[in-house]
Amino acid sequence: MKKLKVLLLGNCNRSLTDNNSPMKQNTVFSSPRTKLNGKNKLNAMDNNIDILEINGKLWHNTKLLPVEDIKELIEQKRYLKADQHLIKLEYQCYSSDSIEKDEDKLKMEQEVESLYEHLDSAITTVLKTSMSISKENPDLLKMVVQFRIQEEKMDQTYQEEAKRKSGRIPKARPRGWKNKWLNILQQSVDERISKIPNASEDNKINWVIQCLGQLLKELKEDVDTIVNHVKPCYPEDYNICKTYADCYQKTISSRLTVITENELKGKDLYTLLRWIYVHYPGVMSTLTQTEDADQKLWRDLLSQEMINQMENGYISAVQTDAKAYMSKSLQMEEMNWINGKEPLMFQDCYHSELPIDIIQIFDGGAREASCLTPDLNNRVLGIMLDEMMCFLESFQESVKCFEKTYLDHENFISTMILVNNICESFREYLNKNGKITNEVKENALSILNKMEKNGKDVLQKSLFCELKPYCKFLITEKWVSHPEPINNILEITQRQLIKFRKLKAQQFQGLLEEIHEQLIAEYISRIMKRKLSCKTEDQQKAFANQLEKEDHQLQELFSVNGSRAVGLATALPYISEIIRLQDVNAIKMEVGALIQEFPDIRKQHVAAILYIKKNMKKSDEKDILHIIKELLNYGTDSSTSKTLFSNAAVLKTL
């Protein structure tokens, strides 16, 4: 022990430790309290933050005070100076051999520990109220931090001495202020963050939202205080923000565990998951500024098993809700179809809220999940795509059922127009949405294509059922001199097209082209039936003129209604010119032009056209038909060629 005294105290403190010193009978431990004056007088403004080191300059300048004066320093919140006196007092107590009686030594130790307990209590109080102290009196918090630094240096000094085994170590050393500090901060955080109230019938609906809202509010306020007020009171290497982050992590984890012990469903699960994945890291990331801070924060909040359970519950709820909402929307749409009312109008077209509802359900689920983790977002998106496909299949079945059951319904045609508009809305959405996979998009578009084709077929059938009595007079003996059939065809078609204009533009354009093609196919199919032949050149010219005239009338009708497929009208002029011409070579050239324009034409088609020319020699007819094979083998430009003679109505007549 003599070596330690020489090493740490030096000669300047021999008066306090030497057995032969005249101050032996008047030490600080045994003397009554005396009124200090001069520079030893207690001074409330004295807040020296220099750290005391054994045998350092401050050590030699620190004159031991009586116990009562040290207590007074503590009461005055001059903790660092009080600790400096206590350190020197403790060191003298455990290193001096000047005290002979055991009871005196025991009393000394008790006084030292009593003072330390008093100081520890004061330090604990400051630490527990760090949030408010850092704003109101930051110097006090800084002093307490310096106290810890000072104490840890003393612990280190004693521990080094213990390793050398050259000195007796006080029982209370090391005092372990690092762990005490952490425990006090953890306790203060536990006290600051509200306990989770029990869920009751009164607050059951918004219980999770209220609990998490309160947690987030308290967390934001505390983090702001830590960053802006507490952090400046600590040395940088203490990384106090990280320390607080760990404390809040434990406390928040315990609060969330309480919440998860309740039966959570649907929106509550989403609210909790979003709080964990988004709100909590968003606040806490300012305390833990590392690349993987966000993931580490939420991964440590709850067990992976609990996280997986909540995610699976959330996905199940999303799927159940989507299925229910989509089914309800479809049921409401079906009711609208049969209620006897005309569909709603929007921008001159029949309009339904069904696509809007379904798209909102799909986008809502996908948008919610996108706020969580990428993995969870992908899983939810997959579920929503599955439900979208299920809905489209159900929608298709509903339309089929309506067609079979309500064919004579007063709004049948209006509803079929509406259905095609609904399909068009879904098509537009699918083509624009980049989140939808190609596979799902192809499957969905396949369903929509079938429905749109079916809808157009229904509309065409409704038109041609009305046109049929007049179409049967086309290309007959009475047809050449009687304009009634074409006039009725034009009138009925125009009247129906006005109804069909309730289709969306793209749908209407497609239907318009199909009707135009079908009407031309009606003429060609009548020619294929060979019910009319013209023996003379004049009869043939009259036939050609009438066919050309009606072709112009049809072209004008569809052009006025916005048809872009005016090229279809070229088939009848070619046919009329073949009928009009008498020169075989000229006829061959016209047949060649017809084949070039419509490569789907076959020998039987041309033979039926030539049948009208009753005055044509068999040899000439044979000669013309002979070149058809050569022309077809030669090939045509498929990018500009059209199909017309392969129309079902034309093929049927063959």
Structure tokens at 174: 């090391």
Of 314, 434, 329, which Cα lies nearest the Cα of 392? 329
**Quick one: which of 505, 504, 464 has its CA closest to 488?**
464
Q: Structurally, what CATH architecture does the domain formed by 310-455 represent?
A: Orthogonal Bundle (1.10)
User: Which amino acid appears at position 465 of this protein?
Assistant: C
151-167 core/surface letters (b: 16 or more CB in 10 A; e: else): bbebbebbeebeeeeeb
Q: And the tokens for 403?
A: 């067609």
**Cα angle: 431, vertex 432, 437; to 5 degrees:** 65
The b/e string for 596-635 (b: 16+ C-beta within 10 A; e otherwise) is: bbbbbbbeebbbbbbbbbeebeeebbeebeeebeebeeee
The one-letter amino acid code at 612 reads I
| Phi and psi at residue 180, to the nearest 5° | -55, -45
Burial of 542 (0-12, 13-18, 19+ CB in 10 A): middle
Strand partners, 349: 346
Taking the C-alpha atoms of residue 119 and residue 423, their distance in angstroms, rounded to an integer, is 79
Q: Are 392 and 447 in contact (CB under 8 A)?
A: yes
Nearest 5°: CA angle at 532, between 526 and 533? Answer: 135
CA 425 to chain centre: 23
Structure tokens at 504: 């969306």
Residue type, 236: E
310-455 and 489-652: same fold? yes
Tell me the whole-structure pTM to 2 decimals.
0.76
| CA–CA gap between residue 281 and residue 463 (Å, rounded) | 64
pLDDT of residue 41: 42
Distance from C-alpha of 183 to C-alpha of 165, rounded to nearest angstrom: 31
Distance in angstroms (rounded) separating the CA atoms of residues 82 and 74: 6
Look at the block and give the residue holding tokens 């009475």: 478
DSSP state of 40: G
Distances (CA, A) of 466 to 470, 491, 492, 519: 8, 11, 8, 13
Residue 125 has a pLDDT of: 94
> What pLDDT does 16 receive?
29
489-652 topology per CATH:
Tetracycline Repressor; domain 2 (1.10.357)
Instruction: Please report, for the chain, the start and end positions of each structural domain, with discontinuous segments joined by +.
Output: 59-184, 196-302, 310-455, 489-652
584-to-303, 547, 548, 607, 626 alpha-carbon distances in Å:
91, 21, 21, 14, 13
Q: Which of 55, 45, 234 is nearest to 146 (CA)?
A: 234
Residue range 583-610: mean pLDDT, rounded: 90
Q: What is the pLDDT of residues 258-289, one digit of tens each?
A: 999 988 888 899 999 999 998 998 898 888 77
Query: Lowest-confidence range among 69-83, 97-111, 215-229, 259-273?
Result: 97-111
In this predicted model, which residue has the larger pLDDT, 514 or 159? 514
173: alpha, beta or left, given left = phi > 0 and alpha = psi -120 to 50?
Answer: beta
Confidence check: pLDDT of 37 > 50: no
Burial class (CB in 10 A: 0-12, 13-18, 19+), 212: buried
Distance CA 648, CA 247 (A): 79
Q: How far is CA 8 from CA 2, 53, 56, 60, 65, in A?
A: 10, 9, 8, 11, 20
Under the banding of pLDDT at 50, 70 and 90, the label for residue 64 is confident
> By C-alpha distance, which of 467, 465, 473 is closest to 488?
467
- Count of CB atoms situated within 10 Å of the CB of 525: 23
Token pair for residue 1? 């022990």
Of the pLDDT bands very low, low, confident and very high (cuts 50, 70, 90), residue 196 is confident
Residue 461 pLDDT > 90: yes
User: Looking at residue 566, what is its pLDDT?
Assistant: 60
Pairwise CA distance, residues 461 & 407, whole Å: 12
- Per-residue model confidence (pLDDT) at position 600: 86
Tokens 């600051």 correspond to 192
345-397 tens-digit pLDDT: 999 999 999 999 999 999 999 888 988 889 999 999 999 999 999 999 999 99
What pLDDT does 26 receive? 33
**Sequence-ordered list of residues with C-beta below 8 angstroms from that of 535, at least 6 positions apart, any chain:** 614, 615
What pLDDT does residue 96 have? Answer: 61
- The yes-or-no verdict on residue 21 having pLDDT over 60 is no
pLDDT band at 90 (very low <50, low <70, confident <90, very high): confident
Taking the C-alpha atoms of residue 441 and residue 458, their distance in angstroms, rounded to an integer, is 25
Residue 596 confidence (pLDDT): 86
Report helix angle 537-560 to 484-500, nearest 10. 20
According to DSSP, the β-strands at 349-351 and 344-346 are: antiparallel
- Between CA 268 and CA 264 the distance in angstroms is 6
Distances (CA, A) of 328 to 74, 180, 316, 357, 359: 73, 61, 18, 10, 14
Q: Dig out the tokens for 398 from the structure.
A: 């509903």
Whether 21 contacts 102, CB under 8 Å: no
- pLDDT more than 70, % of the chain: 85
By the 8 A CB rule, do 109 and 99 touch? no
